[in-house]
Structure 1
Amino acid sequence: MTSLVSERSAEKKPATDAPDDVYGYQRPRLLTVPDTAVSTAGQEAIDLAARAGLKLDPWQQFVLHQAMAEDTDGRWAAFEICINLPRQNGKGALIEARELWGLFIGGEELILHSAHEFKTAKAAFKRIERLIRRCPDLLKRVKTFRQTVGEEAVELHDGRMLRFIARSKGSGRGFTGSCNILDESMILGDEAMDALLPTMAAVEDPQIWYLGSAGIGAPSVQLGRLRRRALAALERGVPDASLAYMEWSISPHSVECTPGCTEHDDPDSDEAALKANPAIGYRLSLAKTRNERQTLSPAGYARERLGVGEYPAEEGDSWSVIGREVWESLADGDSQPEDPVAFAIDVTPERSHASICVAGRAGNAVHVEVVDNRPGADWVVQRAKELTTKWRPRCWVIDPGSPAGSLISDLEAALAERDDEDQEGAEEAWGEELQPLAPVVQMKTRDVVQATGQLYDAVTSARIVHLNQAPLATALAGARKRDLGEAWAWARRNVGVDITPLVGVTFARWGLFAEIEEPEEEVEPWAEFG
């Protein structure tokens, strides 16, 4: 065993004779571990892996020292270990080092290695088999490598076993595991956890490892729980008593960031790639991440290479901002907006969905409605043009700092077009020639904050009426606050649902009352009058 203190205080630098070589950050951006550790078995795992020909990077060694830390009684300091980092950084080698230790040194009777897909578990089995076969000292302790499909395992002469399974509702039931390795943990829900976790109940000193990349929304149930626990521990400054959480990721800019913001990371920078990928300089290169940046969508690159994930909210946290009963009490299926109306557009950060919403007076209240909520965003401008011709709204509202901001120039150009179809539609709707087009109002940050507060106040004072539409209800159920100093706005990231319907009605209601600057009338130069 080695002292844990030195491992926490010393940042290992990769040795290289090439001064221009670039390496990823060897320490995670988010790190919380129990404070009860006095020693670690990590070095034993590192040394054993080296005997099997597995040379670990500094970051992998760091994780093993932290995750395999022990308290004064020699028990694991952390029951749960969660490693969250982008793909192709070397999680597999980390798993192999931990499994070799548990099988040949740690005395763990059964280690269960599970993955979301069978092919992933099968590949992991073949890798550990190759490592053991090229180390005679380890190979002679192996009784058999079970090759039967679905029952792949490494069994020692003394009965210890490392078994590989694909996760399902029933997989893992009936086994008493000393250590559970859950690969691909970004796809891990309640059913799999219900099958696997109880296997450890009768074990004296168990440990469970979750290893995966950034959350992908609804499937990332367990990963989202672990991350929330870690963030809560970091926020209060008190470690979680049983969780070691390590995440390599960036903190991306938000729409409220001012130019030159230094508190968040620029996704387009090399520094962001280095911060999220500790394997750069070892098995990844900065040049390859640049190629990915140019080829992938911004959302895909942020998720797959920069660790910017989407995590579902805890079920008990639903309707945490506006209560369900309060919202449903304001529903009126016969409500209709009065003229004039205001429209608003919003787009998800990954541009997977967009919404067009409307607001108009309805007696003493304001009617809000989702006009369209569809995948993608390429349909928005044409639809907006159609709605403008039909309804002649007082304005269109867009937050220029949001993903919808990219639509502003195309929207303004489309609304400025005057073709025969527009003219005919206008004459049919209004009995006159084409009316002046609605202006596109671009919100400022203070407007976004005011709009959110105004909608919230209108709901709590029963001055909102709606049609109880499913997209809007779903958005409200998963909505979260994003603190902005003493105020707040709707959180766009890490909420696990499409909140564009909610943001859209918030902005549309604001646009119904916003002051709209009239364009200045062109005046002929004095020179024209002699």
Structure 2
Amino acid sequence: MSERRLSEIARHLVQPSDIVGSDFNLVNRAAVKAGIRYDLWQQGFLYLLLAKREDGRYACGAGGAVLSSCRQIGKTFMIGTAMFILCAGRKGTLVIWTAHHTRTSDETFNDLCELARTPVLARYVDHIRRANGQQEIRFSNGSRIMFGARENGFGRGLHSADIEVFDEAQILTVKALDNLIPIVNTSPNPLVVLMGNPPKPGDQSEAFAEKRANALAGSDGMLYVELSADPDADPDDRDQWAKANPSYPRRTGEGDPAHAQPAGRGQLQTRGAGHLGRDRERACHRPGRVGRRDHRRAGYDRIARVRRGHAPRPRRAGHRIRDQEA
């Protein structure tokens, strides 16, 4: 199956207007030198995420960027590596990375620490702080990525940041979002990213639902991407699996849904799209289910190959990531 563009697979794609360029081209060049390759749909998402208007500000800086999808498509790898490269190349950038659960935040921190050990990127890292509640990757140019869990109150008391990433955004109340968004108000070019899965009944998904409603109502100044299968899709239809999960079958194994989800076919139907909106959409959002750790391992084996020296180190100063390039 050939790679598909974001516009070919997204059930909903709402783009900000007046885009004149994007930082993605610069980030992608640095990523290639580090042995990181983004899938075609990921390239499209990152281009729009880092797109800029004529005044140099992010096109989705006002309304933020939202990615709603099933699990195991490579969201964390895509956004995490992009944030790492941005910090490596742009001095003084502060990224706040939050998840609802401590375990999720810890896994992302460990994944990006692994990235920090790759031959090409290690030179840009000053040190890594691993103390609980104070996890941080600090770069030699003064940039930082701070990690924490919202369930532990992470983010409260912080005075400023340039970029905020909300992982597990399907568990996020409007009140919690309103408490954390002001952190980026002092940044000259703020960016807010929300990514998550279709919420389950009982999830506090107010912020996710509000963002979706605003996007589908035609709100400008935001990026909204929703990946899902067709309404009432046959859970056994592999084409629908591929539509819902662009990593299938290249990165996500097929598996057997009957064994992966013994409760039956109903669990293969997402409650997310219908739960977020009022149109009672249903989509197959867990195609070819594999374990979260299995997928992370599949995504980050590319980083492991770089660490083992399968990708060449840059030999000239011109190969370094420059401030103006990322």
TM-score, normalised via structure 1 length: 0.49
Cα distance in 2 between the residues matched to 1:219 and 1:296: 24
Q: What is the Cα deviation at residue 279 of structure 1?
A: 0.3
Q: Is structure 2 residue 109 aligned with structure 1 residue 120?
A: no
Deviation at 1:246, TM superposition (A): 0.5
Q: Does 2:284 match 1:295?
A: no
1:195 maps to which residue? 179
Matches of 2:18 and 2:6, distance apart in 1: 29
The change in CA–CA distance for 1:95 and 1:44 in structure 2 (over 3 A counts) is same
Query: Does 1:310 find its partner at 2:294?
Result: no
Measured in 1, the distance between the counterparts of 2:260 and 2:8 equals: 22
Q: 1:149 to 1:310 in 2, by over 3 A?
A: same
Q: CA separation in 2, counterparts of 1:26 and 1:242?
A: 22
1:129 partner SS:
helix
Matched, 1:144 2:112: no
Aligned-pair distance for 1:41? 1.2
1:41 aligned residue (15, 19, 23) = 23
Write the deviation string for residues 168-189 of structure 1: whole angstroms up to 9, x where unpaired. Answer: 4742123211000111111111
Describe the shift of the 1:293–1:173 C-alpha distance in structure 2 as closer, same or farther (beyond 3 A): closer
Which amino acid is the alignment partner of residue 161 of structure 1? R
Paired with 1:32 and 1:111, the residues of 2 have a C-alpha distance of: 24
Aligned pairs for 1:253-332 (under 5 A) are 253=232, 265-285=233-253, 287-288=254-255, 290-291=257-258, 295-303=262-270, 308-311=273-276
Choose which of 213, 237, 262 in structure 2 pairs with 1:228: 213
1:14 equivalent in alignment to 2:12: no
Query: Which protein shows a greater Rg?
Result: 1
User: Aligned residue for 1:101?
Assistant: 85
2:18 aligned with 1:29, yes or no? Answer: no
Secondary structure in 2 matching 1:303:
coil
Give 3-state SS (helix, strand or coil) of 1:83's partner.
strand
Partner of 2:144: 161
Query: Which ranges in structure 2 are unaligned for 5 or more consecutive residues?
Result: 284-326
Greater relative contact order structure (CA < 8 Å, 6+ sep): 2
Secondary structure of the 1:273 match is helix
CA–CA separation in structure 1 for the residues paired with 2:8 and 2:282? 26
1:34-433 equivalences in 2 (<5 Å): 34-79=16-61, 80-107=64-91, 109-136=93-120, 138-168=121-151, 170-175=153-158, 176-217=160-201, 218-233=203-218, 240-253=219-232, 265-285=233-253, 287-288=254-255, 290-291=257-258, 295-303=262-270, 308-311=273-276
Question: Deviations for 1:12-53, whole angstroms, at most 9, x for unmatched residues?
Answer: 9439xxxxxxx9996311101112101111122223233333
Unmatched 5+ residue regions in structure 1?
1-11, 16-22, 234-239, 254-264, 314-479, 483-490, 495-530
Tell me how far apart the structure 2 counterparts of residues 105 and 228 of structure 1 sit (CA, whole Å).
35
CA RMSD of aligned residues (A): 2.9
Q: Secondary structure at the match of 1:140?
A: helix
Distance 1:214 1:33 in 2: 21
Structure 2 residue identity aligned to 1:247: E
Q: Distance in 2 between matches of 1:292 and 1:29?
A: 28
> Residues of 1 paired with 2:261 and 2:180: CA distance?
40
Q: 1:252·1:266 contact (CA, 8 Å) conserved in 2?
A: no
What letter corresponds to residue 172 of structure 2 in structure 1? L
What is the distance in 2 between the residues matched to 1:298 and 1:228? 28
The whole-number CA distance in structure 1 between the counterparts of 2:217 and 2:256 is 31
What secondary structure is seen at the aligned counterpart in 1 of 2:9?
Answer: coil
Which amino acid in the other structure matches residue 67 of structure 1? L
In 2: Cα distance, 1:108 partner to 1:282 partner: 37
In 2 relative to 1, CA 92–26 (structure 1 residues): closer, same or farther, beyond 3 Å? farther
Per-residue CA shift, 1:440-473, capped at 9, x if unaligned? xxxxxxxxxxxxxxxxxxxxxxxxxxxxxxxxxx
8 A contact 2:6–2:41 mirrored in 1:
no
Deviation of 1:213 after TM superposition, in Å, equals 0.9
Q: 1:492 and 1:301, CA in 2 relative to 1: closer, same or farther beyond 3 A?
A: closer
How far residue 150 of structure 1 moved from its aligned partner, in angstroms, is: 1.3
Secondary structure of the residue aligned to 1:31 is strand
What is the distance in 1 between the residues matched to 2:142 and 2:65? 26
Q: Is the 8 A contact 2:136 2:144 kept in 1?
A: yes
CA distance in 2, matches of 1:105, 1:166: 26
Q: Is the 8 A contact 1:70 1:76 kept in 2?
A: yes
Q: 1:214 Cα deviation (Å)?
A: 1.0
Between the aligned partners of 1:166 and 1:301, the Cα distance in structure 2 is 28
C-alpha distance 141-189 of structure 1, shift in aligned 2 (>3 A): same
Distance 1:83 1:243 in 2: 11
Give the C-alpha shift of residue 197 in structure 1: 0.7
- Answer whether contact 2:101 2:149 (CA < 8 A) is retained: yes
- Look up the SS of the partner of 2:270 in the other structure: helix
Report if aligned partners of 2:17, 2:221 keep a CA contact under 8 Å in 1.
no
C-alpha contact (below 8 Å) 2:163/2:191 kept by paired residues? yes
Please report how far the alpha carbon of residue 290 of structure 1 lies from its aligned counterpart in structure 2 after TM superposition. Answer: 4.7
Task: Give the superposition deviation at 1:146.
Answer: 0.3
User: What TM-score comes out, normalization by structure 2 length?
Assistant: 0.77
Code of the residue aligned with 1:116 in structure 2: it is H
Quote the Cα distance in structure 2 between the aligned partners of 1:13 and 1:133.
32
How many pairs are equivalent? 279
